Structure 1
Amino acid sequence: MDIPVRRWRDLNNEQKTSILQRSEININSVMDPVHDIIRRIQDNGDAALKELSLELDKVDLDLHPFRVGEQEFDQARENLADEVKDALLFCIENVRSYHEAQLSRSMEMMEIRPGVFAGERASPIDSAALYVPRGRGSFPSMLYMLGVPATVAGVPRIAVLTPPNRDGSIDPACLYTAEICGIEEIYRFGGAHGVAAMALGTESVKPVAKIIGPGSMYVAAAKRLLSDTVDVGLPAGPSESAVLADAKADPYLLAIDLLTEAEHGADSSAVLVCTDETVAGRAAEHLAAEIEKLPQPRKDFVSSVFSGYGAVIYADSIEEAAEIVNLYAPEHLQVQCHEPFDVLPLIRNAGEIILGDNTPFSAANYAVGANAVLPTGGRARTYSPVSVRDFMKYSSVIYATKAGNALLAEHVAVLAEYEGFPAHKNAVQKRR
């Protein structure tokens, strides 16, 4: 396929907007059917969950319990190849080390004024459901990226919902990963119906306080529609990446790194922003050649990406290139420049920033330790990667002595009267 190289300055506003768009915009097209799925779960609970699993997943949950049993964990542990187990243990250890360093401590009480004390207490949320997608492959890495910070935070109840195979089984690597993370509550359903069941509850499924994890546009639509009922966490949709490069970058490495996130699916996104037209052109040539070598369905996925939500563009300066990245606000960003640490201060919006050409996206996705569940659809402008903090909440803790209240009372009374709250004023003055 031919992948054009375009100069950013020569594009009109419509063309620029097109490059910056992501497939998440299409979510509105599935809102109506997802709303119907949610209504069915709300009205008919377990019965609707079984019907929808049969309709959408082709799995008869009359033949399989909703929740995975102990025997299935045992079988997964016995049947999974040792090299896969070793890789999972290695990566989980790295992720745990990173996230243990994030664990928030309660803020010590500090004396704001004589006799007036304030602090902050950190505590885990009561429950969380981790969504692990299954439609385009098996993703045990997704499970540990969610499960490790949840367990480090100390969430008392952690559930996993993941679509089953046609025979009703769950991916053995996911079951093994859950066991290593200390998670026992695994459900064999996913999709919009699974999200609705965990948010609303059914006769057999207890609802949770938070549902977090990426999924299809149907999952994203369900989470959006249920956001008033349950905390749905950061917006994590189809995979996306950007690579920022200069004249010193290796065009071949640029090409193979662009393929990494693009091979997730046709709704993924991948953009190269380069300050050198020649390097960009050679990268595009390598990219086209490497696409031809991919097996199906990955070849079709990547071809679709670079026919729709992918682009190779060049900028006139590193400052312009960085600003394009900031406008794009990618989930994953790789900086392949001669001095990447000099470029870092120019980047404001990115879910993760990988510096240099020694760490491909895939290494960060699996093994470095930093979380790979990141905001998508341009939400990196305001959202952060999944962390221990996603599973914590914070309460202010306040205490005042009698003398401390007396010190506050005069000022509180003045402001309460100004705002028209006589009860507020009395509450502090009557304690003098």
Structure 2
Amino acid sequence: MTRAVNFHELALLSQGERQRLLQRTETDLSSYEEKVRAIIDAVRREGDEALARFARDFDKAPVEASQIQATEEDFAAAGKALDPQVKSAMDYAAEAIRKFHEDQKPEEMWLHEMRPGAFAGDRVRPIPSAACYVPRGKGAFPSVALMTSIPAKVAGVPELIIVTPPGPNGKVDDATLVAARMAGVDKVFKAGGAQAIAAVAYGTKTVPKVAKVIGPGSPWVAAAKRMVSHVIDTGTPAGPSELIVLADDTIDGRLAALDLLIESEHGPDSSAYLVTWSRRVAEEARAAIPHYWAKMGAQRAGFSATVLSGPVGGIVLARDEDEAIAFTNDYAPEHLEVLAREPFRYLGRLDHAGEILLGEHTPTTLGNFVLGPNHVLPTSGWAKTASPVSVFDFMKRTSIAYVTEKAYPELALNARRLATYEGFEGHANAVSELRDEILKG
């Protein structure tokens, strides 16, 4: 692998050039919209027949309309075929994911006395149904099945399904089926891409319509989610992978290079930057990256090289710590690693990231698989306003209030004044002497 890793010096860039570094591959989805719209329309018209046809056309998988749902035989065969060591690692990960999300789960209801005799609070309930989207285009991702379905089960979602593209053999990946069973999901469907999003948004004979879909995906999935967002909650915007490794002068640049390859190997549509104000670290990392590519397979090394030598990857050298942190916050990465001997000294200034992994012993690999926090994170700058997938994605709050007879008059007086000012006569009448007369009987 001989491609040159991009090297950007922020001090030498124009505002436009700096802005281009902040772009993602899915920022503009207009090129996908026409084709995705046709896929969605086909699924609405033809249902399972369209899903099977798209599986054959796009996934090169021999799937018929009667074979969309994974069978009990598929689950049993997957359990027997899966490498025991892989299953053990999945058990290890599932335990951490379940514990983290159980600890995250809010109390079922709280009610506080806001004023003497006036009580208000929240009641939390699970959403009625959800689909977990598990991608497969560049590999198999049972970790995504665990990360999406376990929080949903912890939240108590009564109807939970998984949709995932079939492989070339027409079947669901063995580890994904085992992960589904670990999480307690019995219904897994062979559908991926835009067609899967359409199926769970509108329903087919086999695939149920659900209230929400969660999970990362390609620009095709992202475009489909935008187009059906008026009929289904599409959750956290989770597109192609992205990473910033923020490194100071206390670390070895080879370590930064090693970690930069973690997310850049996901695919050619990923984004990954090393951001540092140490020229030594930048040069050490740039020199080391080709050596690490040589230790990878051709496909993953090729993905990484495409990213790190392309328009949305490489090394960014800042003038100082302030400029590096400002760039990182502007970027709002999905994954943010802070490589430093004292990483906590920077934490208070890092405002926008899907996750922040601190120190030399916390590479993104651990967060992606076994630490417990969710790895389905906001992308494309949405970390400025959105959060990682959590139990809260599978729950909704209802406000609760109760006012005693003693507390009512003061509240009614002030509410009536505001209602009258805003011109709402019905509001005002409902807390006027008209109500008092009725309540007196």
- TM-score with structure 1 length normalisation? 0.97
Which residue does the alignment assign to 1:345?
348
Aligned ranges 1:221-300 → 2 under 5 Å = 221-300=223-302
SS at 2:113 equivalent: strand
2:134 to 109, 132, 136: 132
What is the Cα deviation at residue 286 of structure 1? 0.5
1:209 matched to which residue of 2?
A: 211
Q: Relative to 1, partners in 2 of residues 1:122 and 1:224: Cα closer, same or farther, differing over 3 Å?
A: same
Identical pairs, percent: 43
Q: Say if 2:326 is the partner of 1:319.
A: no
Moved more, 344-353 or 112-121: 112-121
CA contact (8 A) 1:331 1:350 kept: yes
Residue type of the partner of 1:422?
E
Checking the alignment, whether the CA contact within 8 Å between 1:319 and 1:346 is kept in structure 2 is no
**1:419 matched to which residue of 2?**
422
3-state SS in 2 of match to 1:346 = coil
* Correspondence for 1:20 among 19, 22, 31: 22
The alignment partner of 1:23 has SS state of: coil
User: Match for 1:7: what amino acid?
Assistant: E
Whole-angstrom distance in 1 between the partners of 2:243 and 2:306: 15
Q: Residues 64 and 168 of structure 1 are in contact (CA less than 8 Å); yes or no, is this contact kept in structure 2?
A: no
Deviation at 1:276, TM superposition (A): 0.9
Unaligned runs of 5+ in 1: none
Q: Which range moves more in the overlay, 410-419 or 252-261?
A: 410-419
Q: CA deviation at 1:43?
A: 2.3
The equivalent of 1:43 in structure 2 is 45
Where does residue 156 of structure 2 map in the other structure?
154
Say yes or no: does 1:368 pair with 2:371: yes
* Secondary structure, counterpart of 1:121 in structure 2: strand
Q: What is the DSSP-based 3-state SS (H/G/I as helix, E as strand, rest coil) of the residue aligned with 1:159?
A: strand
- 1:63: how far off? 6.7
Query: What is residue 439 of structure 2 aligned with on the other side?
Result: none
Aligned length: 432
Provide Cα deviations, 1:146-175, integer angstroms capped at 9, x if missing partner: 111111101101100000012211111111
Indicate yes or no: 2:435 matched with 1:431. yes
How many Å apart are 1:324 and its aligned residue?
1.0
Is 1:377–2:380 an aligned residue pair? yes
State the shift of 1:122 in Å.
Answer: 0.6
- SS of 2:348's partner is helix
Q: Is the 8 A contact 2:5 2:305 kept in 1?
A: no
In structure 2, runs of 5+ residues without a counterpart are 437-441
In structure 2, the residue matched to 1:92 is 94
Distance in structure 2 (CA, Å) of the matches to 1:14 and 1:47: 47
Equivalent position SS for 1:321: helix
Judge conservation of contact 1:405–1:428 (CA < 8 Å) in 2.
no
Question: What is the SS of the residue equivalent to 1:25?
Answer: coil
Q: Distance in 2 between matches of 1:279 and 1:66?
A: 51
CA distance in 2, matches of 1:403, 1:42: 56
Aligned residue for 2:395?
A: 392
- Judge conservation of contact 2:354–2:377 (CA < 8 Å) in 1: yes
Equivalent residues of 2:69, 2:206 under 8 A apart: no
Contact 1:5 1:281 in 2 (8 A): no
Aligned counterpart in structure 2 of residue 329 of structure 1, from 332, 336, 342: 332
Q: Which residue of 359, 364, 376 maps to 2:362?
A: 359
Instruction: Tell me how far apart the structure 2 counterparts of residues 397 and 63 of structure 1 sit (CA, whole Å).
Output: 46
2-structure distance, mates of 1:128, 1:63 = 22
Using the TM superposition, name which of 1-10 and 135-144 deviates more. Answer: 1-10
Question: What is the SS of the residue equivalent to 1:86?
Answer: helix
CA contact (8 A) 1:103 1:153 kept: yes
CA deviation after TM superposition for structure 1 residue 406, in Å = 2.5
Distance 1:271 1:340 in 2: 18
Output one character per residue of 1:155-213: Cα deviation in whole Å (capped at 9) or x when no partner. 10110000001221111111111101110010011111111011011223220000010
* CA distance in 2: counterparts of 1:131 and 1:410, whole angstroms: 51
Between stretches 1-10 and 223-232, larger displacement belongs to 1-10
Task: Supply the distance in 2 between the matched residues of 1:62 and 1:321 (Cα, whole angstroms).
Answer: 52
Note if contact 2:189-2:207 (Cα within 8 Å) is conserved in structure 1: no
TM-score where L is the length of structure 2: 0.95
* AA matched with 2:126: P
Distance 1:145 1:420, change over 3 A: same
Which amino acid is 1:19 matched to?
A: L
